[in-house]
């Protein structure tokens, strides 16, 4: 019996003195996305329900196609108006960044963990703008810069930034994206 107790005790001592195994994130050097958002002072809202007959996301294989989202504020209202008339380029940039937060909330609801993101693949940014407005790229940069701030190199994406004569409910921007995720 003493030998058995000694053996158990020895195994416990050896096990307790083993170096801790690093997590996959620590081994790859990738930052924890949830921790990154917390550091940035961002709390993701609950993903809003679609306002019509569609879904927030469709996953096929390792690609997630995200429905268009707009700049929804904490109080549930949206940033509205045309950039170049009601909003400045800087205000449009802020609206696009806010849209990025909405997209990440919907993406998290779909995949469960933002650390599964391998790459933001494609972004289509639509800007509610006056005729002749040409600074759509500067507005949509609010979204693109945010994705790179959160995901680093994985946040860099192919993109279209286009002007629209109007958008649903007069929102300032609408942005959709395609994301590659891990299994």
Domain ranges across the chain: 28-181
**What is the CATH number that goes with domain 28-181?**
3.30.1330.40
C-alpha separations of 154 from 64, 145, 146, 149 in Å: 15, 12, 12, 10
What pLDDT does 19 receive? 38
Residues contacting residue 69 through CB under 8 Å, at least 6 positions apart: 99, 102, 103, 106, 174, 175, 176
Whether residue 12 is predicted with pLDDT greater than 90 in this model: the reply is no
Whether residue 26 is predicted with pLDDT greater than 50 in this model: the reply is no
Q: What percent of the chain has pLDDT over 90?
A: 80
Exposure on the CB side of residue 142, measured as CA atoms within 13 A: 28
What pLDDT does 48 receive? 81
Please state, as a whole number, how many other Cβ atoms lie within 10 Å of the Cβ of residue 50. 12
Whether residue 21 is predicted with pLDDT greater than 80 in this model: the reply is no
Place of tokens 């942005």: 175
């Amino acid at each position: 019996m003493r030998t058995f107790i000694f053996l158990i005790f020895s195994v416990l001592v050896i096990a307790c003195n083993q170096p801790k195994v690093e997590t996959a994130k620590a081994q790859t050097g990738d930052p924890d996305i949830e921790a990154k958002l917390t550091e940035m002072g961002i709390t993701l809202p609950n993903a809003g329900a679609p306002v019509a007959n569609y879904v927030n996301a469709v996953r096929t294989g390792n690609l997630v196609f995200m429905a268009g989202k707009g700049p929804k504020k904490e109080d549930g209202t949206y940033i509205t108006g045309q950039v170049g008339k009601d909003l400045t380029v800087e205000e449009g940039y802020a609206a696009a960044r806010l849209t990025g937060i909405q997209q990440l909330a919907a993406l998290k609801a779909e995949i469960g963990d933002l650390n599964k993101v391998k790459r933001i693949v494609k972004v289509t940014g639509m800007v509610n703008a006056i005729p002749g407005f040409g600074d759509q790229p500067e507005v949509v940069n609010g979204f693109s810069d945010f994705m790179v701030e959160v995901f680093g190199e994985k946040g860099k994406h192919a993109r279209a930034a286009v002007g629209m004569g109007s958008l649903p409910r007069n929102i300032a921007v609408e942005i959709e994206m395609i994301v590659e995720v891990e299994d």
